[in-house]
Amino acid sequence: MPGKRAKYQGLAVSPGLAVGKACVFGKILVVPRRKIKVSQVERELQRLTDAIAESKQELSQLKSVAESEVGIKDAEIFGTHLLFLDDPVFLAKIQKKLVENKINLEAAVEDVTSESIRMFSKIHDPHFRERIQDIRDVGMRLLENIMGFDRSLLLSTDEDVIIVSSELTPSQTINLKKNRIRGFVTEKGGPTSHAAILARSLGIPLVSGVHNLETRLKMGSLLIVDGFRGEILQNPTEEELSTFRKQLESLHIQEDKEKKIAKLPTRTKDGVRIKVLANIRSEDDVTAAIHANADGIGLYRTEMHFLNHAEFPSEDEQLIDYRRVVEKIAPSPVTIRTLDLGGDKFSGFYPDLRETNPYLGLRAIRVSLEHPELFKMQLRAILRASVFGNVKLLLPMISGVEQVIKTKRLIRKCARELKRENLAFNAKIPVGAMIEVPSASLVIDSILKYADFLSVGTNDLIQYTIAVDRGNEMVSDLYEPVHPAILKLLSRMAKAARRANKSISICGEMAGDTRYTALLLGMGYTELSMSSFFIPHLKSKIHSLTMTEAKQTAQRVLALEKIKEIKKYINNSW
């Protein structure tokens, strides 16, 4: 008997379509609690040793699976979990609880895990907050092994399953791949959470931000997950189900066609060459970029590498990383962005980044210029990597021309040093400014006098122009790429770059969204950079439209005053 039909709107975190039975995680464990006798302590300690050994074995296996499926960087999460299990403080706390409180092992592990979570929650630093998820994940694994919980019970199904969980841990995300997991729905976890990144790498749709989901989505009910729109449909009607199946089928046909088109150089129907580039976080992502036949790397977000290190990576360590990327995609270009720490990306080696308003505080180029000695290490590493291929250097969060001038001064200083040290570098490396702060877009002509190229970060440009936190689902309806203010800024910047005869690209999420392709092309953007996942679809879109049509779209849309009208026009045209 099918349950009640219901539709929920969440955030589209990992794209794709899926249908399956809801498998509600999160209420699996009821932890038993009892007092034990002194004579039983020894036995509980032995159970702890056994459970740790079992958990470590599982994590090592998961790590090697993850390494081959999603790459070494993402697999490091499991390395972190292994370290937790070796942490003498964590283990000593569990032993102390057993001995002093005389409680059973399950209760001791649960208490110590909760205490550690509470302790980390008090630290006002998102970097530490991310560790909370790791602690929870490790604690849960340990408990499951102590209790002899058979995960295969949960996963031994021949049916397609949608995992519903208030929060999704990285090991769950990886573990489930080999089973019939088709989609994920979560309450917490934005697009930058570990699980979201993994889900995207695995190509599994994920919708997050669905409130009270464990009470709303029922175990075993049929769910349709639309990871493109962020929609969940519970117990769809027969008609909806058949429409969905048709959509899924045409998506597969479409994907096959797009993969073929992606092999060709990207041109509009009337022959204008458009460069479609990839956004990457590490060398691991370059393979996907090559498969998608990207015209190069338009945005290399270097901070991911820094977030994974306990200490600031040395110049040589950075050089190794950059060189690998540069050589792997050569002779195609790589635009390496200097560190964009701050905002929601924190790192232990900049302790001063604890602010009440981090997005408006010490972030990106501001942090780098505040710490010139560390900044120089990165600039030198990028300069040295530049001899191994086609490298450009990009400065994030520029808000005025002074930051470009100051950085170029530092680059010249690094170049003089490298010359003295007889170390090779490209003295003519292009230096570009990322335009993601409204003030920079308003003084674009001055910036163009010093920058060799521009790259527009629409994710932040939208956040700062409309004053809407990009990660806060409570105001996500105000986060609007086609707000007339954004479109005006984009159009002005494209014109300014053309006047100055310098290249301009877009590397924010807007670039990969085919709803905006005609508009952006029509405004004069002929270089777009995005996650490799979107490249085939975008290329296919470009092949289907002419530049004349695109210009008409831009002209018409720029004259409209209301978001609703703009959306209607775009939806009807494309």
Please choose, out of 145-153, 370-378, 456-464, 552-560, the segment that lies near ligand PEP by the rule CB under 6 A.
Answer: 456-464
* Catalytic one of 23, 81, 414, 507: 507
Q: Which is nearer to Mg ion, 390 or 455 (CB)?
A: 455
By beta-carbon proximity to ligand PEP, the closer residue of 66 and 304 is 304
The verdict on 458 binding ligand PEP (CB under 6 A) reads yes
Minimum distance, C-beta of residue 157 to ligand PEP, in the bound complex (Å): 37
Q: Alpha-carbon distance 573 to 19, whole Å?
A: 30
Does residue 508 bind ligand PEP (CB under 6 A)? yes
For ligand PEP, give the closer residue by CB, 165 or 465. Answer: 465
Annotate 484-541 with DSSP letters as a single string: HHHHHHHHHHHHHHHHTT-EEEE-SGGGG-GGGHHHHHHHT--EEEEEGGGHHHHHHH
Rule CB under 6 A: say whether 513 interacts with ligand PEP: no
In 3D, which of 156, 58, 139 has the Cα closest to residue 105? 139
The yes or no reply on residue 321 touching ligand PEP (CB under 6 A) is no
Query: Helices in 391-469 by DSSP H: which ranges?
Result: 401-420, 438-442, 444-450, 458-466
301 binds, among ligand PEP, Mg ion, none (CB under 5 to 8 A by kind): ligand PEP
Catalytic residue flag (residue 414)? no
Is residue 460 a contact point for ligand PEP (CB under 6 A)? Answer: yes
Catalytic residue list contains 543: no
- 487 part of the interface to ligand PEP, by CB under 6 A: no
Q: How far apart are CA 459 and CA 466, in angstroms?
A: 11
Cβ-Cβ contacts under 8 Å for 101 (sequence gap 6 or more): 108
- Binding-residue pattern over the window 427 to 456 for Mg ion, x denoting contact by CB under 5 A: ---------x--------------------
Edge-to-edge order in the sheet of strand 161-165: 6-9, 231-234, 222-226, 17-24, 161-165, 181-186, 206-208, 11-14
User: What part of residues 325-384 is at the interface with ligand PEP (CB under 6 A)?
Assistant: 340
Q: Phi and psi (nearest 5°) for 391? A: -115, 135
- Does 507 help bind ligand PEP (rule: CB under 6 A)? yes
Site for Mg ion in 28-87 (CB under 5 A): none
Q: Taking each helix axis as running N to C, give the angle between helix 315-329 and helix 372-385, from 0 to 180 degrees, rounded to the nearest 10.
A: 30
**Among residue numbers 43 through 102, which ones bind ligand PEP (CB under 6 A)?**
none
SS3 content of the chain, % helix, strand, coil (to 5): 55, 15, 30
At what angle are helices 38-70 and 194-202 packed, to 10 degrees? 50
d(CA 195, CA 301): 18
User: Is 375 or 464 the residue whose CB approaches ligand PEP more closely?
Assistant: 464
Contact flag: residue 398 with ligand PEP (CB under 6 A): no
Q: Per CB under 6 A, which region of 198-206, 243-251, 409-417, 451-459 contacts ligand PEP?
A: 451-459
Does 144 participate in binding Mg ion (rule CB under 5 A)?
no
- Under DSSP, the state recorded for 26 is S
Task: Give, for 47, the enclosing helix (H) or strand (E).
Answer: helix 38-70
- Contact of residue 295 among Mg ion, ligand PEP, none (CB under 5-8 Å per partner type): none
Residue ranges in contact with ligand PEP by CB under 6 A: 299, 301, 340, 436, 457-460, 507-508
Residue ranges in contact with Mg ion by CB under 5 A: 436, 457, 460
Which residues are known to be catalytic? 194, 507
